[in-house]
Amino acid sequence: MPTLDRSPALVATGFLAIPVAQALVALPSDLLSTIQAAPIDPALADTAAFSEAYGYPLEGGANCIVVVGKRGDEVRHAACVVLASTKLDVNRVVKKLLDVRKASFAPMDQAVELTGMEYGGITPIGLPADWPVYVDARVLGAPEVVVGAGLRGAKVFLPGRTLATLPNVTVVEGLAVEDQATDAPDTPDASDATDVG
């Protein structure tokens, strides 16, 4: 089993995507001190593969999903962070949050271009300044979550509650539904969709 060589995020900026490194160094020192990063095999960046290969609990995986909707001629983007064991409720909750008629996952090439991050590594840290970031309330209860680092070759580790203190974050009750939920059969599966991050 490969090992995770974790180090404080400030020391690890050399193997993070540029927008992520810039956002981290701009954080207050007390927040930055709660965040670590580690290089990983890029082929194992997807949440399930990472958890299995590195022995990291799947329930500690948090997926960052880029969504898009239109209101008239205005295109609205946002990022949503949910636990890997849950499904993002795009069709109801995200649509309402963005105030659009229809919301969907952003196309891969669009998500990569707009974030400056690699697909499979998109993270809530260092996103465009005008994007809202919605975090499912359950994420805050996790003692530690792992998210992307902007590149497929690294991961960032931080307490779930730290996500609530990042710029543009709104904590949303019910942003995601449990994976086994039967009341939302049309709800996309966040674990299928991240591999954006």
pLDDT in tens, 72-109: 899 999 999 999 999 999 999 999 999 999 999 999 99
In contact, 177 and 186? CB cutoff 8 Å: no
How far is CA 59 from each of CA 29, 48, 142, 196, rounded to the nearest angstrom? 27, 10, 8, 17
Measuring CA to CA, which residue among 122, 141, 165 is closest to residue 34?
A: 165
pLDDT confidence of residue 179: 72
pLDDT in tens, 129-144: 999 999 999 999 999 9
pLDDT confidence of residue 197: 55
Phi and psi angles of residue 147, each rounded to the nearest 5 degrees, phi first:
-130, 175
The residue to which tokens 């969709």 are assigned: 193
Measuring CA to CA, which residue among 104, 97, 122, 101 is closest to residue 175?
A: 97
The arithmetic mean of pLDDT across residues 56-60, rounded, is: 88
The arithmetic mean of pLDDT across residues 167-174, rounded, is: 96
pLDDT band at 182 (very low <50, low <70, confident <90, very high): very low
pLDDT band at 180 (very low <50, low <70, confident <90, very high): low
In contact, 47 and 71? CB cutoff 8 Å: no
